[in-house]
Amino acid sequence: MEYSKGQLISLVLLRLAIGWHFFYEGMVKVLNPAWTAKAYLLDSGGFAKPFFDWIAFNPSLLAISDFVNAWALTLVGFFLLLGWWVRPAAIAGMLLLGMYYLSHPPFPGIEYLFPIDGNYFIIDKTMVELLALGVLLSFPTSHIIGLERLFKKSKPS
C-alpha cells in the first residue's frame, strides 16, 4: 500500500499515540504491586456485569486477570510503538478495549460510581480507540516506519 506523506504521518502518529497510551497504562500497573482492577470490575454495568463480578469475587481469577491485563497492555503498547508484530498487537489491543467497553458500556440507564469524563451515548472514547486500532490493522505502517522495515529488509523476499 502506498501513502502520501500526509497519510503516512497521520497513520504513524496514530499508531505511536495508541502504543504510547497502552504502554504507559500497562507499565504503571506492572510497576505497582498493589494495583488491582477489583473496584473497577465491581463497578461494571450492563449485560456482561455478572461475568466481571464473577472475576472480581474470585481471588485466583482476579489475580490472573490483573496479571494478564497489565502485561497485555504493556506488550501491545510496546509492539505498536516499535512497529513490530503490529497486526497481532492491534488485534490483542482491540480485544482488551472490547472488554473495557463491555464492562462499562455507555448505554442509557446504566449508572457508574466511577466518574466519567464526558457525556457518552453508545460510543465512548474506548470504542473510538478500538475503531482506531481497526484503522491501523487495515493501513499498516510499520514496514515503512518501524522495526518491521529492518526485519523485512534483512530477509530477502
Partner 1 sequence: MDQEKDKNKPGGFNRRDILKGLAAIPAFGLIGYGLFKEIGELKASRINLLGNDDSIIPKGAPLVLQGETIRMGIVGCGGRSRYLLKALGFLHPDRIDEYSEWARTNKYWKEYMEGFFAQDNLNVRITAICDVFDKNARLGVEIGANLHRNGSGGDMDSAPKRFHTYQELCASEEVDAVVIGTPDHLHVPVVLEAARNGKHVYCEKPLSWTVEETYEVRRVVKDSGIIFQLGHQGRQTDSYQVARSLINRDVIGKISLIEVCTNRNDPNGAWVYDIDTEASPETIDWKQFIGPAPWHDFSLERFFRWRCWWDYSTGLSGDLFTHEYDALNQILDLGIPKSATASGGIYFYKDGRTVPDVLNMAFEYPDRDLTLLYSATLASEKKRGKVIMGHDAYMELDETLLIMADPKSTRYAEQIEKGIIEPHKPLFSYVPGQDRVDAITSPTEKYFAERGLLYTYRDGKTYDTSHLHLREWLNCIRKGDGSQPSCDIDQSFEEAMTAHMGTISYHEGRRVYWDAASEKIV
Residues that bind partner 1 (CB under 8 A): 2, 12, 16, 19-20, 23-24, 27-28, 31-32, 34-35, 38-40, 42-43, 57, 81-83, 113-115, 144-150, 153-157
Kindly give, in sequence order, each residue whose CB lies less than 8 Å from that of residue 152, ignoring residues fewer than 6 positions away.
Answer: 143
For the bound state, the minimum distance from the C-beta of residue 77 to partner 1, rounded and expressed in Å, comes to 9
Q: Is 56 helix (H, G, I), strand (E, B) or coil?
A: helix
For the bound state, the minimum distance from the C-beta of residue 146 to partner 1, rounded and expressed in Å, comes to 7
Degrees, nearest 5: CA angle 24-14-67: 30
| Length, in residues, of the chain | 157
Closest CA relative to residue 93, chosen from 13, 20, 152, 10: 20
For the bound state, the minimum distance from the C-beta of residue 120 to partner 1, rounded and expressed in Å, comes to 19
Q: Which is nearer to partner 1, 26 or 105 (CB)?
A: 26
Q: Which is nearer to partner 1, 34 or 122 (CB)?
A: 34
> Cα(22)–Cα(13) distance, rounded to whole angstroms?
14
Q: Which is nearer to partner 1, 109 or 155 (CB)?
A: 155
